Amino acid sequence: MSSDGDEVAEDYRLALEDLSSNMRFEISNLTVIARENTEHALAIAEVLQQHILKAPPNKKLPALYVMDSIVKNVGTPYTLYFGRTLFKIFMESYAVVDHGVRRKMEEMLKTWKDPVPGSMDTRPVFSHELVRPIENALMKARAASMPQQAQSAIPGRPRSAMFPHRNTPTPPGMRGYPGPAGNFPPQPHPFANGGHPGEPVAGYPGQQPAPYPPPSTLAPYNSTPASFPQAAQGPYGSGLPLPSGISVETLSSDIQNLIVAMRAEFSQNPHDSGAQSRLKALLDLQSVVQHSNLPPDQLELIKNKVTELAAVTIRATLGHSSANSTPIPAPAVPPAMALSVHPPSTSVTPSPVPAAQSAVPVTLDSLLGKGAMAALLSMQSSNSQQNTTPKPPFAGVPIRSPQMNHNEPPKAAAALAPPPSMPAAPASSASSLLDQLRAAGMLPPATPTNVPAPNQAPAVPVMPPSIFPSGLPASIASLLAAHKPDSGRSSADSLASSTGLDFAIKKQFRPESIAALYDDLGPPCTQCGRRFRTDEEGRRKKTAHMDWHFQVHQRSTEAEKRGTHRSWYVDQQDWLKAREAVDAIHDVSSKEESAQASKDSEGPKYILVPDPSSGINNVCPICQERFENKWLDTVQEWVWLDTILVGNRAYHASCRAEATRDRESTPVQSRRTPEPVLGKRKAETGLASPKIRVQKPFM
């Protein structure tokens, strides 16, 4: 387990220690943390199990509710981890708590036999095989104390209260908790962002996920109470690969469980080609595992990754479908992004994979769910942060960063990851499934010597075999792909080149592309959000822009009195001649009005107060008076009124007008006949036009 995971687990343990009541807020927080840290699910599950077992009786119920909330709201892999020791957790707690808590535990147990209410998934929260032994044990206990029970039943509490019907424990909306309103209000579970109960949140499966490996398939575990101590030592226990003991059968069975889950999803969304392709990919993986003779360490790695990724798969797929299920009518699970990655038709990569998967495009995403590869990469990066290896792609992405504090305004680009050096995985071919796993760092290179576990392995991006020279950054590879000479290009070639392109478009996140639309453009206008740089040109543009806002405000009132109407559209001739005058007013009033308006527009000449470092004079060169800083409410800026900039010199507009009396002529429009540049046709001209023109800018 990486120290990262240890940290999360330790924080979780401390938070649990503070948990003394059934505060739904705290329980939901702990659920959210569990959900956001599924890569540390095992560690978190263990901490919680230990806490439940060790907590004093009066603190057990809240902790049990945390577990209940996690399995209902997050599901896999937690359900799996808790399932192993469910009997022990439940019975040992039950033994020491008082009567009231027992009753609530019984109510909770009851809900585990049913699907999560409101969920499309029809499977129970925990499988009946897990719940039944507990019920049997309770039955025996009850039988042993029968006289007592019977007596207490007569006065007021009907027998059925022992096992209340399911309307008691879990309020509809699946985020509620068992318990009477008193100490555990059945209010909507406060979900992230103040959403409403039952509102779908993508990536937040509101349903019990698929029956990921049932305990019976996991050799080291069984459902007997005594097995818990072993659990911590098992193959999932440490993240360290055990040198041996992974049988093809076990792995195959794990994959089989994923297949079952995927089939279930597919049956719910039969038209979802994404689910179909993931299913197909899993079947292919199954076939690889079963029919090729993989070295044990590779099996081990596949197994560990498959286990970890099960969570991602389920979340990615079910999360989406659950998000779609309520808000908006009827959308299906989106088509997988995966399928559009096309293998080059000429794959030269030798591969241990049998030829079974010849033409089917398979990617990590198709294999493990939409976003799985990205998730995997981020997981990998968080695991490898201790290493001095290349900066992992998503280290520091706040999504994964639990410390992010939302009380302070999110930082701009800094909040995003540094330019990722993506381990590129343009799925070169279905037949190199393992290459893909390798490329994503899931598997060691093809001829492993002594392979370290992925958690310890330096996250060196292994370039996948591809049509590009290895070692090329992915972005360059994709550029090459994009600009490949096209002479005599066949459809297959273009498929190949589109693979690199596809990768560049879909699988890369480049913070600089975001910055290009935000910070690089300068600060935004407070009124409309348009950004202006702080250099001289930017300042000039911003002044014109603010002037535009100012005039619009001014003229709006005047227009209201006059009454406004829609203008006719321009015709083609005018459209061809029109030039977008940014920050000019398009206004089709009468000649007099526009004449008046342009006179008016001479009025409010001002510039934004320049930065002292700009070197702009603060005294008018003509009248030698200092420019006055004025707050202009309409533009929400400090300005110098009656001021214009000529080059880098500021003047009072009135002073300068008097001194020069020259006015700039309006920009000359091009009168050339348009020469068509596209296609074979000529621009149409000569259509009759109504006498409506767009006024040219005033300024």
Partner 1 sequence: MSIPGLGQIPVQAAVSSTRTISLRPAWEWRFQVPAGSSLVLKVLAGTAEKDGVELALRNAYTFSGVRSKILTWHGCELEIEGRCDNDSVAEYLNPIANPATSHINLHARLSDMRVDATRQRREGPRVLIAGPPNSGKTTLAKTLTSYATRQGYQVITVNANPRDGMLSLPGTLSASVFATVMDPEAVDGWGSTPTSGPSTVPVKLPMVFNYGWESAEEDEDLYRELIGRLAGAVSGRLSEDEEVRGSGVIVDGIGVSEDGQIGMELTAHVVDEFSINTVVVIGPASLHKQFVNRFASEKTSLGEPIQVISIDESDGVVKRDEAFSQHSREAVIKEYFFGDAKRTLSPQIQQVDFDNLVIYKLADYSPDEKQSLVLEEPSSLMQHWTLAVMNASVRDSPDVIRAANVMGFVYVADVDEDRRKIKILAPVSGRLGDKPLVWGKWPEPYINLLG
Contact residues for Zn ion (CB under 5 A)? Answer: 525, 527-528, 530, 620, 622-623, 652, 655
The binding track of 588-627 with respect to partner 1, each residue x by CB under 8 A or -, is xx--------------------------------------
Query: Looking at beta carbons only, is 438 or 652 nearer to Zn ion?
Result: 652
Binding flag, residue 493, partner 1 (CB under 8 A): yes
Residue 356, classed as helix, strand or coil, is coil
Nearer to partner 1 among residue 116 and residue 655 (C-beta): 116
Output 424 or 546, the one with its CB closest to Zn ion: 546
- Residue from 128, 291, 586, 626 binding partner 1 (CB under 8 A): 586
State the nearest-atom distance from the C-beta of 478 to partner 1, in Å. 9
| Shortest Å, Cβ 577 to partner 1 | 8
Q: What is the C-alpha separation between 184 and 505, in angstroms, rounded?
A: 48
Applying CB under 8 A, does 507 fall inside the site for partner 1? yes
Q: Indicate whether 583 belongs to the interface with partner 1 (CB under 8 A).
A: yes
| Per CB under 8 A, 157 contacts partner 1 | no
Stretch that binds partner 1, among 77-85, 100-108, 134-142, 548-556 (CB under 8 A): 548-556
Letter string b/e over residues 5-28, b meaning 16 or more CB atoms within 10 A of that residue's CB: beebbebbbebbeebeebebebbb
User: Does 508 contact partner 1 by CB under 8 A?
Assistant: yes
**What is the distance in angstroms between the CA of the first residue and the CA of the last residue of the chain?**
66
- Which H or E element spans position 211? none
Q: Of 128 and 411, which has the nearer Cβ to partner 1?
A: 411
Helix H or strand E encompassing 251:
helix 248-268
The residue within the footprint of partner 1, chosen from 182, 569, 663, 664 (CB under 8 A), is 569
Host H or E run for residue 637: strand 637-641
679 touching partner 1, by CB under 8 A: yes
Backbone angles phi, psi at 299, to 5 degrees: -60, -45
Question: What does the angle CA 578 – CA 582 – CA 587 come to, to the nearest 5 degrees?
Answer: 65
Cα separation, 343 vs 428, in Å, equals 5
Which of 152, 494, 614, 617 forms a contact with partner 1 (CB under 8 A)? 494
Residue with tokens 């492993």, as numbered in its chain: 448
Distant-in-sequence, close-in-space partners of 56: CB < 8 Å, separation ≥ 6: none
> Minimal distance in Å, beta carbon 553 to Zn ion?
11
What does the angle CA 450 – CA 435 – CA 453 come to, to the nearest 5 degrees? 30
Main-chain phi, psi angles of 632, to 5 degrees: -100, 110
Q: Which of residues 415-454 bind partner 1 (CB under 8 A)?
A: 415-416
Question: What binding mask, one character per residue, do residues 174-193 give for partner 1 by CB under 8 A, x or -?
Answer: --------------x-xxxx
Q: Count CA atoms closer than 13 A to 483's CA, side-chain side.
A: 5
The CA-based dihedral angle spanning residues 566, 572, 573, 577, taken in that order and rounded to the nearest 10 degrees: 80
Residues 366-385 that bind partner 1 (CB under 8 A): 370-371, 373-375, 377-378
Q: Work out how close the CB of 100 gets to partner 1 at its nearest, in angstroms, rounded to a whole number.
A: 27
User: Residue 623 touches which of partner 1, Zn ion, none (CB < 5 to 8 A by kind)?
Assistant: Zn ion
Decide: is 405 part of the binding site for partner 1 (CB under 8 A): yes
Beta strands 637-641 and 606-608: pairing type?
A: antiparallel
| 15 in contact with partner 1 (CB under 8 A) | yes
Q: Does 534 bind partner 1 (CB under 8 A)?
A: no
Binding partner of residue 194 among Zn ion, partner 1, none, CB cut-off 5 to 8 Å per kind? partner 1
* 473 lines the binding site for partner 1 (CB under 8 A): no
Cα 13 to the center of its chain, rounded Å: 27
Which one among 229, 270, 529, 612 touches partner 1, defined by CB under 8 A?
A: 529
Q: Under a CB-based contact definition with an 8 Å cutoff, are residues 421 and 449 in contact?
A: no
Q: Which does 316 bind (CB under 5 to 8 A by kind): Zn ion, partner 1, none?
A: partner 1
Question: Amino acid identity, residue 454?
Answer: P
Q: How far is the CB of 54 from partner 1 (least distance, A)?
A: 19
Q: Can you tell me which of 489, 599, 626, 649 binds partner 1, judged by CB under 8 A?
A: 489
Nearer to partner 1 by C-beta: 310 or 333?
A: 333
Q: How far apart are CA 307 and CA 309, in angstroms?
A: 5
Closest distance to partner 1 from the beta carbon of 434 (Å): 22
Member of 204, 236, 266, 606 binding partner 1 (CB under 8 A)? 204
State the DSSP H helix or E strand holding residue 651, giving kind and residue range, or none if neither.
strand 649-652
Q: Out of Zn ion, partner 1, none, which partner does residue 655 contact, by CB within 5 to 8 A per kind?
A: Zn ion
Stretch (H or E) spanning 38:
none
Residue 528 is a binding residue for partner 1 (CB under 8 A): yes
Name which of 313, 321, 318, 322 is nearest 367 in CA terms: 313
324 binds partner 1 (CB under 8 A): yes
599 is written with which tokens?
A: 């006179």
Q: Distance of CA 520 to CAs 291, 513, 516, Å?
A: 54, 10, 5
